[in-house]
Amino acid sequence: MTILRRRNPLSQPLPAGERGFTAKRADIPPLPTTGPGLNPRPLMPSFLDFEKPISELESRIEDLRETAQSGDLNIDSEIGRLEAKSDRMLRDTYAKLTPWQKTQVARHPDRPHFKDYVEALFDDFVPLAGDRKFGEDAAVVGGFARLGGRRLMLIGQEKGDDTASRLKHNFGMAKPEGYRKAVRLMALADRFGLPVVTLVDTAGAFPGVQAEERGQAEAVARGTEQCLALKVPMVAAIVGEGGSGGAIAIAAANRVLMLEHSVYAVISPEGCASILWRTAEKAADAAEAMRVTAQDLKQLGIIERIVPEPVGGAHRDPALAMRTLGEALEEELDSLSAQSGDALRAQRRSKYLAIG
């Protein structure tokens, strides 16, 4: 997946050889960003391959804006016409995305991540660490929180949004200790009668040797088992990628929601294509055959609800996307709150036994 990104040169980090001179530069005032003759170009959104025509049009709009600001030409009407055209192109493009294009959108680096949802939707988040057996896994984050005043247990996968955080969180791919931590937190929620909310965003469980040595398959199975055993309401939301058992281990819930352009599958399209056709270049064909989109999965009865995203995807208006998901989560929790523990567990088990 190629990302076309235009950046403000003033926002770029110093080259590696200059980073050690920060202290010597402390007395130099920052460059002004506003004032006569200064019209810095704002950061442009990241564009995917299939958005190239939109990218070119928005670049042209930005160039016209700079021209209008630096001279006496009045080209507001031309800018308005091009903006309307860009909006139409964006709506038309996202109204007919293919499964592979939706997969690319689901993986977009600027989509909201777990930490963003915590900051935007949840209050009093108290992170809890460790599986009490081996250690801590930063790919899975969880703890007590409040949503709209309701106390609950929040668990999710964090991919990270820069090189350091992606390495810290292992790109959202959990190891056995991550899933065992999730099991511990779900059991804790069950003990205190707290509903469980999970936010799923992972390419899958970590496939490394160390994970296999520590019982990755067993840990994923235990996570699924704990989901099915809960006597409290459980709501899961696929907010980006829902990959393989690494996703379902924390998503075997009473209600499963998917953001409009998220994907959920037993294997990645590239992995499927490599197995069937011996080449990842057939990933688009695999995505089509696997029916990975929210719309397909709603039709198949795998999920209960599709949460709409802003036009152009959640990455174009993260605040709106997160607010919409928060409202959907509250509605689902309200609908489950009156049911008994036995009824919740029976509904969850019958739902998954019927799939297949």
Predicted confidence (pLDDT) per residue in 169-216, tens digit:
999 999 999 999 999 999 999 999 999 999 999 999 999 999 999 999
The per-residue pLDDT of the chain, averaged, comes to 87
CATH domain 104-354 topology: 2-enoyl-CoA Hydratase; Chain A, domain 1 (3.90.226)
244: nearest Cα among 292, 312, 309:
292
The answer, yes or no, to whether residue 253 has pLDDT greater than 50, is yes
Query: How many Cβ atoms are within 10 Å of 50's Cβ, its own excluded?
Result: 15
Query: pLDDT value at position 3?
Result: 54
- In this prediction, residues 17-30 reach a mean pLDDT of 37
Query: pLDDT value at position 337?
Result: 94
Q: Which residue has the tokens 């999730």?
A: 182
Q: Which residue has the tokens 């152009």?
A: 312
Query: pLDDT value at position 81?
Result: 84
CB 294 within 8 A of CB 306: yes
3-class DSSP state for residue 167? helix
In the chain, where the domains are located:
50-96, 104-354
Reading phi first (left if > 0) and then psi (alpha if -120 to 50, else beta), residue 35 is in left
The beta-strand segments (E) located in 23-169 are 123-127, 140-147, 150-157
Q: Which amino acid is at 157?
A: Q
Burial 2-32 (b: 16+ CB within 10 A, else e): eebeeeeeeeeeeeeeeeeeeeeeeeeeeee
- Residue-wise pLDDT tens digits, 280-314: 999 999 999 999 999 999 999 999 999 999 999 99
The set of residues, in sequence order, having a beta carbon less than 8 Å from that of 47 and lying 6+ positions away, is: 3, 4, 5, 54, 55
Residue 61: pLDDT band by 50, 70, 90 thresholds? Answer: confident
Query: How many Cβ atoms are within 10 Å of 307's Cβ, its own excluded?
Result: 21
CB 111 within 8 A of CB 157: no
Query: pTM value?
Result: 0.83
Residue 344: pLDDT band by 50, 70, 90 thresholds? Answer: very high
CB 159 within 8 A of CB 203: no
CA distances from residue 145 to 75, 79, 196, 334 in whole angstroms, order as listed: 50, 45, 10, 16
Query: How many Cβ atoms are within 10 Å of 96's Cβ, its own excluded?
Result: 7
308 vs 75 pLDDT, higher one: 308
- Eight-state DSSP code of residue 4: B
Token output for 111: 């989509």
Q: Which residue has the tokens 């299939």?
A: 50
Is beta strand 150-157 parallel, antiparallel or unpaired with respect to 234-243?
A: unpaired
The answer, yes or no, to whether residue 9 has pLDDT greater than 60, is no
- Residue-wise pLDDT tens digits, 208-248: 999 999 999 999 999 999 999 999 999 999 999 999 889 99
Burial class of residue 291 in the structure, from the number of CB atoms within 10 Å of its CB (0-12 exposed, 13-18 middle, 19+ buried): middle
Residue 6: pLDDT band by 50, 70, 90 thresholds? Answer: very low
Distance CA 171, CA 206 (A): 9
- In this prediction, residues 147-172 reach a mean pLDDT of 95
322: nearest Cα among 115, 139, 22, 159:
115
CB 290 within 8 A of CB 269: yes
Distance of CA 286 to the CA centre of its chain: 22
Query: How many Cβ atoms are within 10 Å of 187's Cβ, its own excluded?
Result: 13
